[in-house]
Amino acid sequence: MATSDPSVKTTPAVDETGADSSRILQTRGLRKEFGGLTATDAVDFTLEEGELRCLIGPNGAGKSTFLNLLTGQLAPTAGEIYYDGADITGLPSHERVGRGISMKFQVPSVYEGLTVAQNLRIPLQQVVEPDAFDARTREILERFDLLEQWGTVAGELSHGQQQRLEIGMAMAMEPKLMLLDEPVAGLSIEETADIAELLREIADDDGVALIVIEHDIDFVETIADRVTVLDGGSIFREGPIEEIKADPEVKRIYLGEDH
């Protein structure tokens, strides 16, 4: 299922800053403190192009903080973030997005007061010319099964439709890296399967690298190339899902008695 097995990569090209330019994302010694609390601690994380990585860990493990550091919504206390071969640690959110990092929030955050088409226009006008808006909007809505909702106010969509619209909006930015915070929280089994298929497609067909925070281990098993387990703000384990699931230590801190 994995399209980009990290083990078959050629020797990484390391530039003078030490950033590995063959990797879409790399963090080094990333740390974030809130007052006396260290939410993210010395995280060295790498992601290959087109890889779908799931981020799991108990509550308070620092998953969302880590994502917010990547998007630039939080500034790190220490450490660096390299994206596509460049140091983006000091860049504000909107410039990171301009370079192809897209984010889907935990709570569906579509523009509830705007119609579905207007929602899509916000990201679209950043990347395509005005005369292409309608065609691109149709294309994306078809793909995400929302064409009939073109003129519907987004606040009136179902939860699953909002999630799809939001992923569609993130994809409208034509990203190289997409960050998703619990994309299937609160969704039905069918809706979850839909999203799983979509995410796999986005990684395999569009070649977008994804980082997905997820609690649902079955969902993680369906979609992930590799899994990173965070605990106490640091990387606790990293590897293929089978390995992670079999790890007794991971079971102890995270998976609990069900698994």
The length of the chain is 259
Q: Where are the beta strands (DSSP E) in 12-125?
A: 23-34, 37-48, 52-56, 78-83, 86-87, 101-104
C-alpha separations of 191 from 27, 41, 85, 165 in Å:
33, 35, 36, 13
Among 135, 211, 204, which residue's Cα sits nearest to residue 172?
A: 135
Choose between 3 and 93: whose C-beta lies nearer to other proteins.
Answer: 93
* Least distance (Å) between residue 150 CB and other proteins: 4
Minimum CB separation of residue 186 from other proteins in Å reads: 19
Structure tokens belonging to residue 143? 């793909």
Q: Closest separation between CB of residue 101 and other proteins, Å?
A: 9
Tokens of 168: 């569609």
Q: Among residues 6 and 150, whose Cβ is nearest to other proteins?
A: 150
Q: Which is nearer to other proteins, 9 or 159 (CB)?
A: 159
Question: Smallest distance from the beta carbon of 3 to other proteins, in angstroms?
Answer: 26
82 neighbors 19 (Cβ within 8 angstroms): yes
Type of residue found at 64: S
Considering the complex, state which of residue 70 and residue 199 has its C-beta at the smaller distance from other proteins.
70
Shortest Å distance, C-beta 194 to other proteins: 21
Q: Which is nearer to other proteins, 170 or 244 (CB)?
A: 170
Output the smallest distance, CB 126 to other proteins, in A: 5
Q: Which is nearer to other proteins, 46 or 149 (CB)?
A: 149
d(CA 108, CA 134): 24
Taking the complex as a whole, the smallest distance from the CB of residue 218 to other proteins amounts, in Å, to 28
d(CA 77, CA 146): 41
In terms of CB distance, is 64 or 222 closer to other proteins? 64
SS3 percent helix, strand, coil of the chain, rounded to 5, is 40, 25, 35
What letter represents residue 211's amino acid? I
Residues that bind other proteins (CB under 8 A): 71, 73, 92-95, 97-98, 102-103, 105, 109, 111-115, 117-118, 121-123, 125-126, 130, 133-134, 137-138, 147-153, 169, 173
Contact present, 87 and 80 (Cβ < 8 Å): yes
Strand partners, 86: 83
Greatest extent of the chain over all pairs of C-alpha atoms, in Å: 56
First CA to last CA distance, the chain: 23
